[in-house]
Amino acid sequence: MQILLPALPFPGFFLAPESPRWLASVDRKEDAAAVIAKHHANGDINSPLVQYEAEEIVNTIKTKQEAHASASYADMLKTKGNRWRLLISITLGLFSHAHLSMPASLEPHLGRRSGSNGREAWSTTFVPDVCTGNSAVGLAVIPLLFVFFAGYDIALTPLIIAYPIEIWQFQLRSRGFSVLWTSGIVAGIFNMFVNPIALGSIGWKYYFTYIVFLAAFVLLAYFCYPETKGRTLEQMAYIFDGEDADSNVLEGKSMEGKTKVLSIELERKSG
């Protein structure tokens, strides 16, 4: 039964487009531009938006490949930007264990920071229901669990997939994602073995630990998780690395407004 649900979407992988960044990394620039054109410009390979995004991707990957012939986990600690990304990956993994993809469609509208803080506020709201010991409240917890997970899955669950992929550079993206899942597994092991002992010793008072935990994450997300909505993956380096980002990335930052204008024009034409 556990294999059934993950197996259902498997045929969809054959319909998914190849990553234009991977295509560019193996010197298939024309194929990368074709993918961008299909999804960003209604198939128009000569669109200025396609030419700009393709050139931005190719230049960024070329620069990274020349600077780092082989990336390693040690590279995550070498720069301030990478250490910032590593902090986000570890803490996001610690605060999330569920995996769902459908609510991810709401993230472009909610934003990353709003979604993360909203989930923690939503979670904290329902903690008192399990702390009173009242039988009526206990019965009310059952439907409220569905309400709780509705907020959890809409707000935080998509972030554990989208956010690390957005913030890490191409050559460290898979390693950053591995760090996130490892920290999530560590948190899951802690919950599995420590929670029963703590609940058996101090009962419902142990839930206050999670209230503090959620409050800490709200502050962490607010001050340390930058908003990434509306930027390309290449332009994301400007947020974390600032003036240390590659020159073509800084140029992409200056072109950000032009890119949005081109996107709006294409949307109007398609409409």
pLDDT in tens, 196-237: 898 889 888 888 888 888 888 888 888 888 888 777 777 788
Would residue 237 count as lying in a domain? no
| Structure-block tokens of residue 253 | 């930052």
Would you state the pLDDT for residue 135?
59
Residue recorded with tokens 């032009």: 258
219 and 94 assigned to the same domain = yes
Question: What number of other Cβ atoms are within 10 A of residue 238's Cβ?
Answer: 20
59 and 110 assigned to the same domain = no
97 and 137 assigned to the same domain = yes
Would residue 122 count as lying in a domain? yes
110 and 135 assigned to the same domain = yes
Instruction: Assess whether pLDDT exceeds 70 at residue 105.
Output: no
108 and 216 assigned to the same domain = yes
Q: Is the dihedral of CA 222, 226, 228, 231 positive or negative?
A: positive
Would you state the pLDDT for residue 132?
55
111 and 140 assigned to the same domain = yes
**Structural domains counted in the chain:** 2
190 and 258 assigned to the same domain = no
Nearest to 117 by CA among 154, 64, 72: 154
Would residue 216 count as lying in a domain? yes
Would residue 238 count as lying in a domain? no
Whole domain around residue 101: which residue ranges?
A: 80-229
107 and 188 assigned to the same domain = yes
Residue recorded with tokens 């332009």: 235
Would residue 256 count as lying in a domain? yes
Would residue 267 count as lying in a domain? yes
Lowest mean pLDDT of 105-109, 111-115, 118-122, 215-219, name the range.
105-109
169 and 107 assigned to the same domain = yes
pLDDT class of 83 with cuts at 50, 70, 90: very high
Query: What is the 3-state secondary structure of the chain?
Result: CCCHHHHCCHHHHHCCCCCHHHHHHCCCHHHHHHHHHHHHCCCCCCCHHHHHHHHHHHHHHHHHHHHCCCCCHHHHHCCHHHHHHHHHHHHHHHCCCCCCCHHHHHHHHHCHHHHHHHHHHHHHHCHHHHCCCCHHHHHHHHHHHHHHHHHHHHHCCCHHHHHHHHHCCHHHHHHHHHHHHHHHHHHHHHHHHHHHHHHHHHHHHHHHHHHHHHHHHHHHHHHHCCCCCCCCCCCHHHHHHHHHCCHHHHHHHHCHHHHHHHHHHHHHHHC
Would residue 242 count as lying in a domain? no
Lowest mean pLDDT of 104-118, 145-159, 165-179, 188-202, name the range.
104-118
92 and 156 assigned to the same domain = yes
C-alpha 137/C-alpha 130 separation (Å) is: 7
pLDDT class of 264 with cuts at 50, 70, 90: very low
31 and 119 assigned to the same domain = no
Nearest to 98 by CA among 172, 176, 151: 151
Would residue 74 count as lying in a domain? no
Residue recorded with tokens 């989930």: 119
Residue 181 near residue 133 (C-beta atoms within 8 A): no
Percentage of residues in the chain with pLDDT exceeding 70? 69
95 and 203 assigned to the same domain = yes
